[in-house]
């Protein structure tokens, strides 16, 4: 059964031996980061594996009674536990099963589809009257500084909320989005809202600005044409956009906030699919948005359309500090939370870290969706050292000349994959999960001048090397075997492989050889 809330998830981690409770006093400024970084890199003790356990800090300096959960997704085993599977490919298989549904051709086909349609119906979120996140409601006398929000790195601009589920609504369609954007805490009631311009939340913000600008132009025109001055500035739009932020949700909801979902698929539905149970939502107190009923903490408020403020620097998953820039400001109007809320957070920095395992889960789970658009793809690998968007290794079933370049351009056209700085495309017999094999075969298979192509386009906002913010070059490498139809007329050599007869002979003699 699905985890109903963060607390059930913590209990499950504890039962599985995947949680370490820490009662020694720690400071949320820098100290928790240093402890967690050592654990996630396997530096905490001799022989400790990378990833370590999830950490529940129970004695936070300056925050008596507060608890901080971190590194909850920091290993493959915990990602599997979070999504309640034995292997991430099981989730991919469920997605593939839904994608393989054919249009019914007759009455019997329609009857056969009923169980699957009923199952899909179970995943849609449902709104309930109230929930644990409403145990404490504060419209006045509240402060963000009451929560043990971390400052992660020495040169960070301050404390940052790093694992929020940020809820916005499309002004045109009314569809909700749940995204994850870091939030720099400016003071007791305001934060930055670091939704990069290519994110859905940023598009909702831009659409609200377009809507407000159109309303303003219409109002000004009306005032100019109306006698007696009956229209006043009060008729102009408010210039705000409603936002809600849920902190400390169950693992499926948290994970759904980072997945590259198709634009028309709501994250609450994805969470329901992952947890095999609908997400229960409650209405906010001061904004017209819905949030998970079981969240530990909910921040409600508005982003002002005419206000930008310097956000950053911030030590990011690139291993470098992302530069400061102007971003919208979130004004908190109400805070609701559970009694004694648990603050759920993460840190990012030089890999490997917790976010690397989350990225790997995205890679495995959404491979079927990528194959739906680019069917010749066999497998992909986003190495953790490539920080998601710097390197993608791809194997394909090659059927025609130039196909590797077609695949590169197709990947660059796919949502967040447009930011991929380097794509290396190889033949289907290359195991892209084996970096040694990739290195050997890719570098042997390329003539650099012939097989490397460059293109210009959007790049990740965190790319400090691009010629301009958000715009720069990307590289594709065709490391497939070259065909005569691609202008390669030399013979292609065979790979060195031992024959099966000799391998079997040595297998029989292996114990006798005494080499075990």
In whole angstroms, give the CA distance from residue 134 to residue 350: 37
- What are the residues whose beta carbons fall under 8 Å from the beta carbon of 423, sequence distance 6 or more? 391, 392, 394, 407, 408, 411, 412, 474, 475, 476, 477
The yes-or-no answer to whether 124-344 and 374-486 have a common fold is: no
**Whether the Cβ atoms of residue 301 and residue 330 lie closer than 8 Å to each other:** yes
- Round to whole Å and give the CA distance between 427 and 445: 10
Q: In whole angstroms, give the CA distance from residue 36 to residue 50.
A: 11
Task: Determine the angle formed by the axes of helices 89-99 and 354-365, rounding to 10 degrees.
Answer: 30
Report the DSSP pairing between strands 321-322 and 314-315. antiparallel
CA dist., res. 371 & res. 499, Å (int)? 34
State the CB neighbour count (10 A cutoff) for residue 112.
12
**Peptide bond preceding 352 in cis form (omega within 30 of 0):** yes
Among 480, 473, 427, 412, CA closest to 451:
480
For 467, residues 6+ apart whose C-beta sits below 8 A from its C-beta are 473
Q: What is the pLDDT of residue 113?
A: 45
Pinpoint the alpha helices (H) of 179-283. 200-225, 251-256, 267-275
Residue 102: the pLDDT is 56
Q: Which residues contact 514 (CB under 8 A, 6 or more apart)?
A: none
Which CATH code for domain 124-344?
Answer: 2.30.110.10
Q: What per-residue confidence (pLDDT) applies to 160?
A: 98
Sequential pLDDT tens for the chain (516 residues)? 689 999 999 999 999 999 999 999 999 999 999 999 999 998 877 767 778 999 999 999 999 999 999 999 999 999 999 999 999 889 888 887 766 655 555 555 545 444 544 556 678 899 999 999 999 999 999 999 999 999 999 999 999 999 999 999 999 999 999 999 999 999 999 999 999 887 888 899 988 888 887 766 665 554 455 444 333 434 334 589 999 999 999 999 999 999 887 777 889 999 999 998 999 999 999 999 999 999 999 999 999 988 899 999 999 988 899 989 999 999 999 999 999 999 999 999 998 899 999 999 999 988 888 898 899 999 999 998 888 889 999 999 999 999 999 999 999 998 888 999 999 999 999 999 999 999 999 999 999 999 999 999 998 888 888 999 889 999 999 999 999 999 999 999 999 999 999 999 999 999 999 888
Rounded distance between C-alpha atoms, residue 483 and residue 486, angstroms? 5
Give dist(CA 378, CA 480) in Å, integer.
13
Closest CA to 151 of 347, 1, 370, 350: 347
CATH 3.40.50.2300 given to domain 374-486? no
Given this model, what pLDDT does residue 32 score?
97
- Which token pair is 366? 């959404």
Half-sphere exposure of 159 (CA within 13 A, CB side): 20
Cα–Cα distance, 480 to 441 (Å, whole number)? 9
Domain ranges of the chain: 6-99, 124-344, 374-486
Q: CA separation (Å) from 87 to 40, 124, 171, 361?
A: 21, 24, 39, 10
Given the residues 316, 451, 460, 478, select the one marked as catalytic. Answer: 316
pLDDT at position 109 is 54
Residue 316 bears catalytic tag: yes
pLDDT value for 35: 96
Does this model's pTM top 0.95? no
């Amino acid at each position: 059964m699905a985890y109903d809330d963060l607390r059930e998830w913590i209990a499950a981690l504890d039962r599985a031996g995947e949680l370490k409770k820490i009662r020694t006093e720690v400071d949320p400024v820098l100290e928790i980061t240093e402890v967690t970084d050592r654990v996630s890199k396997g530096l905490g003790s001799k022989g400790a594996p990378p990833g370590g356990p999830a950490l529940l800090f129970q004695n936070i300096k300056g925050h008596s009674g507060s608890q901080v959960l971190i590194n909850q997704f920091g290993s493959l085993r915990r990602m599997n536990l979070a999504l309640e599977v034995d292997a991430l490919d099981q989730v991919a298989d469920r997605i593939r099963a839904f994608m393989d549904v054919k249009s019914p051709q007759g009455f019997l086909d329609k009857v056969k589809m009923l169980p699957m349609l009923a199952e899909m119906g179970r995943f849609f979120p449902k709104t309930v009257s109230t929930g644990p996140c409403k145990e404490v409601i504060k419209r006045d006398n509240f402060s963000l500084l009451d929560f043990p929000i971390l400052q992660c790195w020495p040169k960070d601009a301050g404390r940052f909320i790093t694992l929020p589920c940020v809820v916005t609504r499309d002004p045109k369609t009314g569809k909700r989005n749940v995204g994850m954007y870091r939030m720099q805490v400016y003071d007791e009631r305001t934060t930055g809202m670091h939704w990069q311009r290519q994110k859905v939340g940023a598009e909702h913000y831009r659409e609200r600005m377009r809507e407000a600008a159109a309303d303003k132009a219409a109002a000004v025109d009306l005032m100019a044409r109306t006698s007696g001055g009956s229209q006043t500035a009060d008729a102009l739009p408010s210039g705000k956009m409603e936002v809600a932020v849920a902190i400390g949700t169950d693992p499926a909801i948290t994970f759904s906030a980072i997945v590259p979902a198709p634009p028309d698929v709501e994250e609450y539905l994805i969470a329901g699919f992952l947890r095999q149970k609908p997400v229960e939502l409650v209405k906010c107190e001061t904004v017209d948005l819905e949030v998970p009923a079981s969240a530990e903490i909910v921040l409600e408020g508005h982003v002002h359309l005419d206000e930008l403020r310097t956000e950053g620097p911030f030590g990011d998953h690139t291993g470098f500090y992302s530069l400061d820039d102007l971003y919208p400001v979130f004004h908190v109007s109400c805070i609701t939370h559970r009694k004694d809320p648990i603050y759920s957070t993460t840190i990012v920095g030089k890999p490997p870290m917790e976010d690397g395992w989350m990225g790997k889960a995205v890679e495995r789970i959404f491979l079927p969706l990528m194959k739906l658009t680019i069917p010749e793809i066999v497998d992909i690998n986003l190495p953790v050292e490539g920080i998601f968007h710097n390197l993608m290794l791809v194997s394909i079933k090659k059927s025609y000349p130039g196909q590797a370049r077609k695949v590169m351009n197709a990947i660059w056209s796919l949502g967040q994959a447009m930011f991929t700085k380097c794509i290396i495309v190889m033949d289907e017999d290359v195991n892209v999960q084996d970096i040694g094999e990739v290195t050997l075969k890719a570098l042997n298979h390329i003539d650099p001048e012939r097989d490397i192509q460059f293109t210009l386009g959007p790049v990740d906002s965190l790319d400090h090397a691009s010629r301009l913010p958000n715009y720069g070059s990307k590289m594709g490498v065709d490391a497939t075997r070259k065909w005569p139809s691609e202008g390669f007329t030399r013979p292609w050599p065979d790979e060195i492989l031992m024959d099966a007869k000799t391998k079997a002979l040595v297998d029989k003699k292996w114990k006798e050889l005494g080499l075990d």
